[in-house]
Amino acid sequence: MIPWARPLLFGDEALLVAEALQSTAISGGPFIDRFESEFCQFHGNGSRGLLVANGTAALELPLRALGIGPGDEVIVPGFGFAAAANMTLACGARPVLADVTDDTWLIDPEDVRRRLSPHTRAIVAVHSYGNLCDLATLADIARDAGVALIEDCAESLFSRYRERPCGTWGDVGTFSFQATKTITCGEGGLVLARDAKLVERMRLIGSHGMRADKKYWHHTVGYNFRLTNLQAAMLCAQWRHREELAQRRTQVYGWYQTRLADHPGLRFPRIPGEVVPVMWAVAIRLDPKRIPMSRDALIVRMLADGIETRPGFYPLSAQPPFAGPPVGNSEGLASQIISLPASPTLTEEEVDQVCARLLSLVA
């Protein structure tokens, strides 16, 4: 079996986790401060970071800290992972679905403009698969409209836009360290922002509304979004290998491009010239005019041959929590994208095997 995802571990994860265990600091502890500091130093631009329990909490926290709630609207892409839309609903606000472009599969700034209203409080740019949205245009739109720009970087860690890391263009950047992500501790997430007051408010909300200087006094309604020192220890170990992890993912993506990019029925997402990506997943669009087999049938056939693949994202407009009128390109993409194995552990021979089987099935 070639699995769709498999983490690359180096061995020192166990050493640092054991160090955290032996210290007995298994909830809060020094590895949390260390990782936050190193992550912010890497991203620069005055960034301040806050580790949280997972990437979804990383999206909910800024929405709550910005005071977004009933009567408010948050613009999210109609095609992409649903966490931003889910957390908008969790805060009592309404997700407004904007279309994505046909070639990048990322939120379309012009459709964002059309969907702005007096109730809009934030725009969430979801950087799907490791590609990056048109951040300069989205930042201009958000600034002119007086709303927050939140970058969902769960799938795009280490990707750069105009030489700056993703997560540093918006008011807030959110990251995920779930098991399939480029840096992982099983779960985990991080919120990045430059506004010290916003970061402090997120820290307060994410820790039961309490401050460290006055235990059991709740300044506001709070939640427990904290990450453990054990998980942070694993992140610190993974962070040591960040360059190798990024290089391995880029290498794997390059192997697939070399073997598949010239096929007339297979299309990779367009990477804008301003973007230097570290692609988290190898997602390919099937041209139904050239490939008669459906995407879902292809997934079944590949699995029968020991190769696990996944579909693209389903359109949010078709799903019960967000149901609404169809959103242009988001609808067609949903049935045409297949995501191939993309682990940094893949060998070139395994990529050859995946590509050979895919090409034989679509021939």
273 and 176 co-located in one domain:
no
Q: Strand pairing partners for 100?
A: 107
142 and 249 co-located in one domain:
no
Distance CA 147, CA 170 (A): 11
249 and 100 co-located in one domain:
no
CB atoms within 10 A of CB 8: 16
18 and 139 co-located in one domain:
yes
Kindly indicate the confidence band of residue 45, based on its pLDDT and cuts at 50, 70 and 90.
Answer: confident
Structural domain includes residue 342: yes
**Of residues 114, 135, 116, the one with CA closest to residue 126:** 135
**Of residues 158, 80, 72, the one with CA closest to residue 117:** 72
207 and 262 co-located in one domain:
no
Give mean pLDDT, residues 270-295: 97
Tell me the pLDDT tens digit for each residue of 118-132. 999 999 999 999 999
pTM for the model stands at 0.96
Structural domain includes residue 247: yes
**Of 215, 240, 265, which marks where a domain is finished?**
240
Structural domain includes residue 5: no
228 and 334 co-located in one domain:
no
The domain containing residue 143 runs over which residues? 12-240
Check whether 259 has a pLDDT greater than 90: yes
Check whether 356 has a pLDDT greater than 90: yes
251: part of which helix (H) or strand (E)? Answer: helix 242-260
Structural domain includes residue 3: no
Distance CA 308, CA 252 (A): 16
Q: What is the CATH number of the domain that holds 19?
A: 3.40.640.10
**Of 191, 206, 240, which marks where a domain is finished?**
240
Q: What is the end-to-end Cα distance of the chain in Å, rounded?
A: 23
Total domain count, the chain: 2
